[in-house]
């Protein structure tokens, strides 16, 4: 039985004309239920063109609908777009905007859709959104996502006005994108939060507060904000959303409302789920016995790799890095790992989709992990010792100091790292311990280079191999990796007009990274969406970290 545990929210809900206490009665199809979610962190901004933190993105994903939507398998479907066409040269995308998708703002707060409170989403709303992305005053972190748009690079270089971005409205219902070069990934990018529409009149009426409070945001999606309360010194913080009835006809919205309780830590979120105060939990760990009655989705979307502080002159010696890579006996992992871990030989994890399949189905990790001399980058104790001795001779050292591997909390059972460190201790004679720290501290220390060796969880912002590889571009990562050849190859992949032309190039990019030994893959790591018994169809995007509740159902 669901519980409403926020006293402040309970008082607010009691005044509502919709019954929201505890479980609501549900239809046989699982509709008309209230869903609770213990969300970690207060949204920084609900402005889609500006926001980038996970909490903001999750709320935005339920308030807005873009031209297209993407499911957790990377499959696109129409959203606000009724239809679209692409020119033969791949440089022009024309969208027909549906006439039954509406903006809604409950101005009189009576929780009903009054005639003067909703109006159609138009092509002009998308034009204004993209102008805002490229307007320097917005300081949008999403400009590079749309570099293929006509004049985008010139605008970023301040040699063109942001209003010249290649997005125009031929009419209220016809939207045209012009590109400087064909991009196979452009259509997918339109499913991102940054590509959500923005109504110009409403934006300016907020007088600089757009997306900063519950009175300064409008919805064209499945839900609208009823109240957003946050006191940094209190604990009863929440975002409360209700079904946007204006948009219920063209695509049914199942829940009546959403209660997002704002928590400070993951532990608080986990406790809320255990106490039946949250309907869904996102976790790196999955205990089958503990969650035996839950509905669980598993996503293999991380690669855990060894990284070395680039400023450490000893462990970052190229020969020492090679010795570490060849000194890991991954065959010893067989039958030893928990269900959330798999032995990794490649860079890109199996959960990344490509051409509607797992990327790893198309490009074998064993083919990726071949060195430039043709040998496999795999356990080779003789070669490992040889590289180790070469490195020590160059540095004129007899031994390396004992160190600890830095690991973020709640990522994995660190006992499995002993399978790696024991192999090194046997071959090289040094001891490597494990230091587990809070996630915030972990990333701060990575950024400040306050570590010698670390396990780094690599994932991507979008479900695509090129997005994953972009983590390794020079000056775009916190691990200090740089390779101009890889940069050129990734830029080439970005500009592909057809994904089929990129299969071998993705493999080539993986090989470049693997042969530099700056990121040594150890495990593919799964993430879990755990839904309490009876809850279904809460869609999770493991790359953007957004939960979508439009189709969420509860069936006892």
42 and 182 belong to one structural domain: yes
What b/e readout covers 144-171, taking b as 16+ CB neighbours within 10 angstroms? Answer: ebbbbbbbbeebeeeebebeebbbbbee
Spell out the residues 6+ positions from residue 275 whose beta carbon is closer than 8 angstroms to its own.
Answer: 3, 5
For the residues of 48-78, what is the DSSP string, one character each? TTT--SHHHHHHHHHH---SEEE-TTS-EEE
For the residues of 208-272, what is the DSSP string, one character each? T-TTSSTTS--B-SSEEEEEEE--TT-S--EEEEEE-GGGTTTS----SEEEEEEESSHHHHHHH
Please, what sign has the CA dihedral across residues 69, 493, 520, 472? negative
Tens digits of residue pLDDT in 62-116: 999 999 998 877 789 999 999 999 999 999 999 999 999 999 987 767 666 667 7
pLDDT score of 72: 73
Query: Does 293 map to a domain?
Result: no
pLDDT score of 110: 66
Quickly tell me which residue has 């496999």 as its tokens: 376
pLDDT score of 324: 98
Query: Does 71 map to a domain?
Result: yes
544 and 506 belong to one structural domain: no
Spell out the residues 6+ positions from residue 39 whose beta carbon is closer than 8 angstroms to its own.
Answer: 55, 58, 239, 260, 261, 262, 263, 269
Query: Does 295 map to a domain?
Result: no
Query: Does 451 map to a domain?
Result: yes
Question: Quick one: tokens of 169?
Answer: 């409205």
In contact, 238 and 6? CB cutoff 8 Å:
yes
pTM here is 0.91
In the chain, what are the helix, strand and coil shares in percent, each to the nearest 5?
30, 25, 45
536 and 465 belong to one structural domain: no
For the chain, how many residues are written? 556
Question: Quick one: tokens of 21?
Answer: 């206490």
Q: Which residues pair with 411 in a beta bridge?
A: none
Query: Does 311 map to a domain?
Result: yes
Q: What is the CATH number of the domain that holds 391?
A: 3.10.105.10
Classify 352 as helix, strand or coil: coil
Tens digits of residue pLDDT in 484-507: 999 999 999 988 877 777 889 999
Q: Containing domain of residue 443, as a range?
A: 300-526
Q: How many CA atoms lie within 13 A of 115 on its CB side?
A: 0
pLDDT score of 375: 82
Query: Does 103 map to a domain?
Result: yes
Which segments in the chain show pLDDT lower than 50?
1-26
Q: What is the CATH number of the domain that holds 190?
A: 3.40.190.10
The region that residue 191 occupies, defined by phi over 0 for left and psi between -120 and 50 for alpha, beta otherwise, is: alpha
Q: Which residues pair with 280 in a beta bridge?
A: 531
pLDDT score of 113: 67
For the residues of 378-417, what is the DSSP string, one character each? S--HHHHHHHHHHHHHHHT-S----EEEEEETTS--GGGG
CA-closest candidate to residue 199, choices 59, 48, 95: 48
Query: Does 166 map to a domain?
Result: yes
pLDDT score of 531: 98
Residue 117 φ then ψ, to 5°:
-105, -5
272 and 338 belong to one structural domain: no
DSSP 99: S
481 and 393 belong to one structural domain: yes
pLDDT score of 18: 37
In contact, 16 and 37? CB cutoff 8 Å:
no
503 and 420 belong to one structural domain: yes
452 and 482 belong to one structural domain: yes
| Range 74-81 contact pairs with CB under 8 angstroms and sequence separation of 24 or more | 74/188, 74/353, 74/356, 74/463, 74/464, 75/356, 76/187, 76/188, 76/191, 79/191, 80/121, 80/197, 80/220
163 and 312 belong to one structural domain: no
220 and 337 belong to one structural domain: no
pLDDT score of 6: 40
Query: How many folded domains does the chain comprise?
Result: 2
Question: Quick one: tokens of 310?
Answer: 């680039």
pLDDT score of 241: 97
539 and 454 belong to one structural domain: no
CA-closest candidate to residue 261, choices 534, 34, 26, 544: 34
Question: Quick one: tokens of 477?
Answer: 């990562």
319 and 236 belong to one structural domain: no
Query: Does 292 map to a domain?
Result: no
C-alpha pair distances (Å), 482 with each of 303, 405, 424, 492? 19, 22, 26, 17
pLDDT score of 103: 96
Question: Quick one: tokens of 269?
Answer: 């979120």
β-pairing, 403-408 with 453-458? parallel
pLDDT score of 495: 84
549 and 491 belong to one structural domain: no
Classify 10 as helix, strand or coil: helix
pLDDT score of 111: 66
Rounded Cα distance between 336 and 231, Å, is 46
């Amino acid at each position: 039985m669901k519980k409403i545990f926020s006293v402040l929210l309970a008082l607010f809900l009691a005044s509502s004309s919709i019954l929201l206490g505890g479980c609501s009665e549900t239809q046989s199809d699982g509709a008309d239920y209230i869903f609770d979610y213990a969300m970690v962190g207060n949204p920084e901004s609900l402005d889609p063109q500006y926001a980038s933190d996970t909490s903001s993105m999750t709320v935005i994903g339920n308030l807005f609908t873009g031209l297209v939507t993407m499911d957790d398998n990377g499959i696109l479907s129409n959203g606000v777009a009724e239809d679209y066409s692409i020119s033969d040269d791949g440089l022009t995308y024309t969208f027909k905007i549906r006439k039954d998708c509406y903006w809604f703002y409950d101005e009189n707060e009576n929780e009903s859709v009054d005639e003067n409170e909703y109006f159609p989403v138009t092509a002009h709303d998308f034009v204004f959104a993209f102008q805002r992305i490229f307007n320097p005053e917005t300081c949008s972190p999403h400009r590079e996502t749309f570099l293929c748009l006509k004049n985008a690079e010139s605008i970023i270089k301040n040699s063109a006005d942001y209003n010249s971005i290649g997005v125009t409205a031929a009419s209220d219902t016809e939207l045209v994108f012009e590109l400087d070069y064909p991009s196979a990934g452009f259509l997918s990018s339109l499913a991102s939060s940054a590509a959500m529409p923005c109504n110009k009149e409403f934006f300016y009426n907020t007088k600089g507060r757009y997306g900063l409070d519950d009175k300064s945001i409008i919805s064209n999606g499945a839900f609208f904000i009823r109240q957003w309360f946050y006191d940094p010194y209190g604990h009863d913080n929440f975002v409360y959303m209700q079904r946007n009835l204006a948009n219920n006809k063209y695509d049914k919205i199942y829940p009546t409302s959403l209660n997002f309780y704002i928590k400070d830590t993951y532990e608080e979120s986990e406790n809320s789920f255990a106490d039946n105060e949250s309907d869904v939990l996102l976790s790196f760990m999955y205990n089958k016995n503990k969650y035996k009655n839950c509905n669980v989705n598993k996503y293999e979307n991380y690669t855990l790799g060894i990284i070395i502080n680039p400023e450490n002159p000893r462990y970052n010696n190229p020969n020492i890095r090679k010795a570490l890579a060849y000194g890991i006996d991954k065959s010893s992992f067989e039958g030893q790992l928990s269900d959330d871990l798999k032995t990794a030989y490649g860079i890109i994890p199996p959960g990344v989709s490509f051409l509607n399949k797992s990327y790893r189905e198309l490009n074998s990790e064993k083919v990726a992990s071949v060195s430039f001399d043709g040998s496999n980058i795999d356990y080779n104790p003789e070669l490992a010792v040889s590289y180790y001795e070469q490195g020590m001779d160059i540095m004129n050292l007899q031994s390396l100091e004992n160190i600890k591997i830095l690991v973020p909390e709640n990522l994995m059972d660190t006992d499995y790292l002993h399978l790696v460190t024991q192999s090194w201790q046997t071959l090289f004679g040094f001891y490597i311990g494990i230091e587990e720290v809070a996630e915030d501290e972990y990333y701060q220390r990575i950024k400040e280079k306050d570590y010698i060796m670390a396990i780094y969880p690599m994932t991507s912002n979008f479900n695509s191999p090129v997005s994953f590889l972009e983590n390794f571009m020079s000056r775009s990562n916190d691990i200090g990796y740089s390779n101009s050849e890889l940069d050129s190859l990734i830029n080439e992949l970005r500009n592909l007009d057809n994904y089929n032309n990129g299969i071998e190039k993705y493999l080539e990019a993986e090989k470049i990274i693997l042969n530099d030994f700056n990121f040594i893959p150890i495990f593919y790591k799964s993430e879990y969406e755990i839904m309490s018994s009876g809850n279904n169809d809460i869609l999770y995007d493991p790359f953007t970290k957004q939960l979508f509740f439009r189709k969420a159902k509860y069936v006892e």
